[in-house]
Structure 1
Amino acid sequence: FPNHVDVQATPMVVNFNATSGGTPSIVVPFTYTIPSGYAEGEGVIRVLRGSDCSLEANLGGGQSGYAGYIVSSAPVAVADLDGDKVAEVVARGADGRWVAFTRKSGAWGVLWTSTDAISAACSGSGSGSRCGAGWSGPSIHDLDDDATPEVIVEGVVLNGATGATLSSLPAGYTSYGQGLNPVLANLDTDPNIELTNGALVWEWNAGAWVQETYYAGPAAGFVAVADFGPYGASLPATNPELALVSNGTLRVLAMDGSVVLGPVGVPGGGGGAPTISDYDGDGLPEVGVAGEAFLTVYDIDCTPSPRTGGTCSAGNACDDSAGTPGPCPAGILWSRRTQDNSSNVTGSSVFDFEADGVAEVVYADECFVRVYEGTSGEVRFSQYRSSCTWYENPVVADTDGDFRADLVAPSNLACSDGVNGIACGMLDGGVDAQFAGLRCQGNADCASGVCDSGLCRCTATAECCSAATDADCLEEGYACAAPPAGTAGTGNTCRAAHPHGVSGIRVYQDAHDSWVRSRTIWSQHAYAVTHIEEDGTVPPRSTWQDNWLNPDLNNFRQNVPGVANGLATPDLTAGASTFNCSSAGAELKAPICNRGAEPIGAGISVGFYADGNLACAGMTSKALNPGECETVACTWAEAPTGSEVDVTVIADDKSDRNECREANNQGTIPGVRCEPPA
């Protein structure tokens, strides 16, 4: 499928080899580019190696035992359905049936195809290929507490082991937009799990949906769940609330249906799936929503009825239609200008990249994927992309197993000329108007060697990347340009450029290795940490922790470090080293150890230096846990045959891994000398 390069849906991340310490994978449907159009019903799932995006498998389209196509606009879900500790992939087939793919003994095949056509079959082909309510995907949870998960499609429940239909849509269920990604949680104090579409709530009881009478909402819409405070008459203080986006407004509703916040309009209209996190570091959650023209964070504390202990730091952080910041209306912490004229219902995700208790927002509009400061909406990272937009959002997970967070962004060339992507109307002389430039803490952080007021300064685009040519730096997404008016410091900055359109998947990591670690999983569109284990297993209902009761969580569509302390760091050392002589030269060896408090990923460069010059090099082949060592070897072909030379061994000699101590990476191999062969 060489032409299947467009991605319309949210990518998933999972390690199919978790028990053996393998590399995680990225799983997402692909479709082909159609200039000025798009296709939804002729997709193929690609399983990509998370470390380099190389193809591991194609699922669907006649591959891996499935003859039909996959709906490319519908996100998949990944979880262990059959109890073998290896995740399956659940997707919507173009014929309306759902399919679960499984990997056994290294080979992919079909675990099951749903007994019934749960969804509408796609119609048309090429630019006319469309799928009714075709933008939503499944959620996977264990509703029966029997250690066998169920697959939920809107409100239809499938047996996760067989694909048989256990229950149809609950009475009174209505969908919204192009379909709803199911949101389930224990919304009351009984042990059963509930499903909500924002309008009603249903409990899973004895294999069927039963409507709860305690809640009636205003309308169906996109939902997220968290505990915003002790709201709702006669409800337990620990009951969660719902964030509901519907018909261009945001509401926060208690579980008795009473209004906590709103309705507050989505600036510019539209509005996709909400995220929930502590954006401003006050210990209480806020709500993020992406609309047609703005990314907005709503805060109950920015109303006349703030919460106890809550703060509102809103200042001039709400942009107008021209992107000029000004005062925010009641209920809004900040709102930043974006561009989503296509669907205007995209999603976003959240991650605390610095583990400082203040979350950052990750959002991709039609032209750029950005990371926003949670407190103010200031853009901290920007890279070009393109999309005609569906429900998709970028996600954060550790895709390569190096114990550091990575940002995964989907792109497509749909609705465009097939080269340049959607026309970008928010460019400032060809660069992202929202992004001041590459950040730095010191001169060494910048390719130009000049850091001023926290931004890398430049005199030419070639000074914005290590490749050091204008063309290469522009392709990497940076151009030297004047910063936005009012930016502190002197000189031009390296701003985010948009040289052309983008398709497929791009994975980003921090160039200075300062992002903290993350889980190696993002399993479904309606993602919350506690519904899935890192190995892809699904907790039974009785052990499924309420996310909002964990003081370190209380979030929705946010990933977290894989351990409690994301700030823990590794510490590399080079130990007592040796050499042997052979016909090939001097065989140099050194134990490379991790003396820190956090694992470090494989592929650490190790240089062996004589008189300051590189003699030979190697790298670690596996992740090193705290206290673990690996011997790294290389051959110095031109070892001295006369006077002895001391060889200095430097772990992480390229300085591309962040450590707690950088000054203890060296070891010495004394007296290296090899007699020439007789």
Structure 2
Amino acid sequence: MRHLLVSFFALGLVIACGSSQGSSFQDPDDAGASSTTSSSGTFVPSEGGASSSGDPRESCASKVLCGEPAICCATGQECVKNACAEACATGVRCGEVCCAAGQVCLSQACVAPGKACNDSFDCEEEEFCEPTIGKCLPQPVEAGACLYKPPVAPLALTLEWSWTESAVFAPEFNQIVNTPMVVDMDGDKIPEVVIVTSKNDSGAYNQDRPAYVRVLEGREDPASPGSKKPKEKWAATVDAYKDGNEVNPRGTPAVGDIDGDGKIDIVAPRMSGGLIAFNADGSLKWKTANRTKYDSVTVAIADMDNDGKAEIVAGGLVFDHEGTLVSGEVTGQALWGSNDPGYGPVSIIADVDGNAASTEQFVVTGNRAMRKNGTMLWDISEEKSPLLAALGVPNDGQIPDGYTAIADLDKDGKPELVVIGQGILRVQEASALPPDKPKVLAAIRLPGSGRGGPPTVADFDKDGIPEIASANGTKYNVFEYDPAKPEDKRLSVKWSKDTQDGSSNVTGSSVFDFEGDGSAEVIYNDECYSRVYRGDNGDELYKIVNSSATIHEMPVLVDVDGDNNTELLVVANDYHHSIGTTKCEGYDAAAGEVPRHGIFAYGDANDRWVRTRKVWNQHAYHITNVTADGKIPQVEPRSFTVAENNDYRVSSQGKGVYNAPDLLVDLEISLFSCPTAIDLRARVKNQGALGVPAGVKVKFYLGADATGTLLGEKLTTKPLLPGESEVLTLSYATTGATAAFFVVVEGTAATGVIDECLTDNNTGKSGGIRCPGVN
């Protein structure tokens, strides 16, 4: 059965056993005992197998029957695929072998789980993170593995929860113009969502107006089932809500463990300038002494010098983990990484010195790379590019600043810097050691109007080569880069779609491969709609009415509630719409299409989207910059050298995304309760490549199939890793008549869905059964 419904509210029950039929992938049990099946026959044990006299139960010493027609298993045997086989004391069977306690069965071998993990990026290169136990396991080779690849189907979004105003503090502060951040802040495996909320009034988004950081639990509040409202984690008395601790409405925070104490911190631009940091409980951690005013900055975090303590970057300013300014001038450099001063810098941090032996990281902007101490690795701000001059860049093509991303675009092992500045996309070398300086390799003017927003990089068409995407005032554009062409032809428009962003035209976007097929989809929000575009041709796959001022808002894809399913988070604001500054002519008010504010979490109505990470910690997120539990790596892997991470502002799960369970059930009959009852024992086994949580439902029927009388249901009580099994027992009061019984692993009133790799092997049966001597 492909879709298996699972309840996580397990009932009290007894252990049991199971079997199943046919399999298209390599079944680790195929080397075991053979199956015996029949559609008729009555089993009445005979004494010693030689006479029909005496107590028939004694002729089957184990009193355990298996198969159809039923045969008697020897003591110490169990029913496996309708045949008797030696029992596995550990409950972990792998073909003919019983694995040791604590092992699992993967690729027909018993293996022991490795180190603890939160996602596959915590594991070694050829491992995946088993979410059921949070440990690394070898990734099965694809040939013969149990995999589930979601069918390509129209996106079907369902609202899981929304927050539109606070029930705790200052409900009028409900406008969100920043990218939401997601991380598990308290270690309970349920991520939290960090948002910045500003007031719904005149000047709401000005940087000298107040705004407040808030933290929401990433799921519907379990204390209010059906409300579709998340729990607010902070009380009204926390430091974050006190006078003097307000944040910048236009600034975007970053989250992570900045000082290596194992606790999550929030660093945000402060109202009227500077930075402010909060602990996970809302208490004040520090404020910067410097109150330099720089508008709309986004914060980035990385351990630039590999000392175990993170640096915090805001534009061209570098602060240490305690908020002390380390380097950067208070003017000029403060706007590094910007395409427009009014919308602030979006700096990135990367290792771009080209020295394989060094792991030092640098602040990287459109025309400079700076060390932690403020000295330059390279500076091309005074250099001139004929390519840019040909596109009308002033001063003979003097290289301007801009929004950046980094990736290995030509797969030569060296990174390229992608820059959006002055309405132009350019690609330039990213790595250089003095006296060398990076060169501009290609440039193209963005179709449409306006400056252009922070770029994303991903493989949009499954050709193995990254593409580049960026939005401006009237278009969303995807570009291809081909270094083999002449330099003025290396960048070309792959596709372009009309959008509406007349206010800022510098908004970012994110990318996610919903089907996990290697072709990424684009998620972008203009002033009126949040859209999902097909990556290879730009077809609109889904559209949500979602009003936005297009400042730093950017949709993100994360597992926001820790259920191993992916959700789409979008933020909204409506002040500009309410006063007529921004108009959405396409809205149908009669159909309920109106501007809105708050944050909204959407999931797949059919749970088909592939899994992804439980973290998105900064605007310049690129997977390797943060672990799943919010730690900042002391030595960050170069994202552009890791095959599956050669992208930017992309959400991904890593290895094991297609791994799936395969549940089977064997039905064995116990005569120990005769003559009053027959015990039906369903052994549920997972022979797939991914564990399943407790709560798998099994139905028991009187009859040869599911058209018979439903006798009852049972739920598994423990997670089942690959190779593990559990026995569920249902007692049937005998009537004296010969009977057949049927079991199926399924559920119709469950709270979760599990996709299996096989569709037709979730049943077991036994026939011709009655208690001996009962007429």
Fold conserved (TM > 0.5)?
yes
Shift of 1:522: 0.8
Amino acid paired to 2:648? F
CA distance in 2, matches of 1:254, 1:58: 44
Aligned partner of 1:89 in structure 2 is: 266
Aligned partner of 1:663 in structure 2 is: 760
Report the CA distance shift for 1:379/1:251 in structure 2 as closer, same or farther (over 3 A).
same
TM-score, with length taken from structure 2: 0.62
Give the number of aligned pairs. 548
Shift of 1:306: 8.8
CA distance in 2, matches of 1:657, 1:298: 37
Structure 1 residue 555 and structure 2 residue 647: aligned? yes
The 5 Å alignment of 1:152-171 reads 152-160=313-321, 162-169=322-329
Structure 1 residue 184 and structure 2 residue 349: aligned? yes
Report the CA distance shift for 1:274/1:664 in structure 2 as closer, same or farther (over 3 A).
same
Q: Do the aligned residues in 1 keep the contact of 2:428 with 2:438 (CA within 8 Å)?
A: yes
CA distance in 2, matches of 1:621, 1:16: 29
For the residue of structure 2 that corresponds to 1:220, the secondary structure is coil
Amino acid paired to 1:116? A
Shift of 1:137: 2.2
Q: Specify every segment of 5 or more residues in structure 1 that has no aligned partner in the other structure, as ranges.
A: 121-131, 231-236, 311-329, 432-470, 475-497, 582-586, 672-678
User: Match for 1:200 among 356, 360, 368?
Assistant: 368
CA distance in 1, matches of 2:715, 2:582: 42
TM-score, with length taken from structure 1: 0.70
CA distance in 1, matches of 2:318, 2:252: 17
Shift of 1:16: 2.6
Aligned partner of 1:116 in structure 2 is: 289
Report the CA distance shift for 1:577/1:348 in structure 2 as closer, same or farther (over 3 A).
farther
Amino acid paired to 2:290? A
Q: Do the aligned residues in 2 keep the contact of 1:139 with 1:183 (CA within 8 Å)?
A: yes
The C-alpha deviation readout for 1:178-206, integer Å capped at 9, x for no partner, is: 211220101122322111221222123xx
Structure 1 residue 72 and structure 2 residue 249: aligned? yes
Structure 1 residue 259 and structure 2 residue 428: aligned? no
Aligned partner of 1:99 in structure 2 is: 276
The C-alpha deviation readout for 1:369-426, integer Å capped at 9, x for no partner, is: 22211111112222221112212110111112232322111112221238x9953235
Aligned partner of 1:407 in structure 2 is: 568
Report the CA distance shift for 1:305/1:388 in structure 2 as closer, same or farther (over 3 A).
same
User: Match for 1:209 among 360, 374, 382?
Assistant: 374
CA distance in 2, matches of 1:331, 1:290: 15
Report the CA distance shift for 1:615/1:530 in structure 2 as closer, same or farther (over 3 A).
same
Aligned partner of 1:386 in structure 2 is: 547
Structure 1 residue 221 and structure 2 residue 402: aligned? yes
Report the CA distance shift for 1:346/1:592 in structure 2 as closer, same or farther (over 3 A).
farther
Q: Do the aligned residues in 1 keep the contact of 2:350 with 2:638 (CA within 8 Å)?
A: yes
Amino acid paired to 2:198? T
For the residue of structure 2 that corresponds to 1:270, the secondary structure is coil
Amino acid paired to 1:546? R
Report the CA distance shift for 1:652/1:659 in structure 2 as closer, same or farther (over 3 A).
farther
User: Match for 1:511 among 577, 581, 605?
Assistant: 605
CA distance in 2, matches of 1:531, 1:670: 59
CA distance in 2, matches of 1:221, 1:373: 27
For the residue of structure 1 that corresponds to 2:468, the secondary structure is strand
User: Match for 1:373 among 534, 540, 544?
Assistant: 534
Shift of 1:598: 2.8
The 5 Å alignment of 1:289-304 reads 289-301=470-482, 304=485
Q: Do the aligned residues in 2 keep the contact of 1:651 with 1:666 (CA within 8 Å)?
A: no
Q: Do the aligned residues in 1 keep the contact of 2:254 with 2:618 (CA within 8 Å)?
A: yes
Aligned partner of 2:190 in structure 1 is: 23
Larger Rg: 2
Amino acid paired to 1:253? Q
Amino acid paired to 1:261? A
Structure 1 residue 137 and structure 2 residue 298: aligned? yes
Shift of 1:241: 1.5
CA distance in 2, matches of 1:250, 1:553: 22
CA distance in 2, matches of 1:568, 1:252: 37
Shift of 1:605: 6.8
Q: Do the aligned residues in 1 keep the contact of 2:660 with 2:757 (CA within 8 Å)?
A: yes
For the residue of structure 2 that corresponds to 1:552, the secondary structure is helix
Aligned partner of 1:12 in structure 2 is: 181
CA distance in 1, matches of 2:259, 2:641: 29
Aligned partner of 2:29 in structure 1 is: none
Q: Do the aligned residues in 1 keep the contact of 2:220 with 2:231 (CA within 8 Å)?
A: no
User: Match for 1:33 among 189, 200, 220?
Assistant: 200
CA distance in 1, matches of 2:421, 2:371: 22
CA distance in 2, matches of 1:194, 1:394: 27
Q: Do the aligned residues in 2 keep the contact of 1:302 with 1:332 (CA within 8 Å)?
A: no
For the residue of structure 2 that corresponds to 1:353, the secondary structure is coil
The C-alpha deviation readout for 1:227-280, integer Å capped at 9, x for no partner, is: 2238xxxxxx53312111112221111243422221423423231110011222
Shift of 1:548: 0.9
CA distance in 2, matches of 1:98, 1:251: 31
Structure 1 residue 651 and structure 2 residue 763: aligned? no
Report the CA distance shift for 1:364/1:652 in structure 2 as closer, same or farther (over 3 A).
farther
Aligned partner of 1:423 in structure 2 is: 583
Aligned partner of 1:148 in structure 2 is: 309
Q: Do the aligned residues in 2 keep the contact of 1:227 with 1:554 (CA within 8 Å)?
A: yes
CA distance in 1, matches of 2:235, 2:326: 25
For the residue of structure 2 that corresponds to 1:416, the secondary structure is helix
RMSD over equivalenced CA pairs, Å: 4.1
Aligned partner of 1:398 in structure 2 is: 559
Higher relative contact order (CA 8 A, sep 6+): 2
User: Match for 1:275 among 426, 439, 456?
Assistant: 456
Q: Point out the more displaced range, 73-82 or 612-621.
A: 612-621
Report the CA distance shift for 1:414/1:189 in structure 2 as closer, same or farther (over 3 A).
same
For the residue of structure 2 that corresponds to 1:657, the secondary structure is strand
Shift of 1:531: 1.3
CA distance in 2, matches of 1:7, 1:384: 16
Amino acid paired to 2:295? A
Report the CA distance shift for 1:609/1:15 in structure 2 as closer, same or farther (over 3 A).
farther
For the residue of structure 1 that corresponds to 2:618, the secondary structure is coil
For the residue of structure 1 that corresponds to 2:494, the secondary structure is strand
Q: Do the aligned residues in 2 keep the contact of 1:573 with 1:593 (CA within 8 Å)?
A: yes
Aligned partner of 2:103 in structure 1 is: none
The C-alpha deviation readout for 1:568-596, integer Å capped at 9, x for no partner, is: 223345676999x9xxxxx9997866443
Report the CA distance shift for 1:306/1:392 in structure 2 as closer, same or farther (over 3 A).
same
Structure 1 residue 240 and structure 2 residue 415: aligned? yes
CA distance in 2, matches of 1:202, 1:184: 9
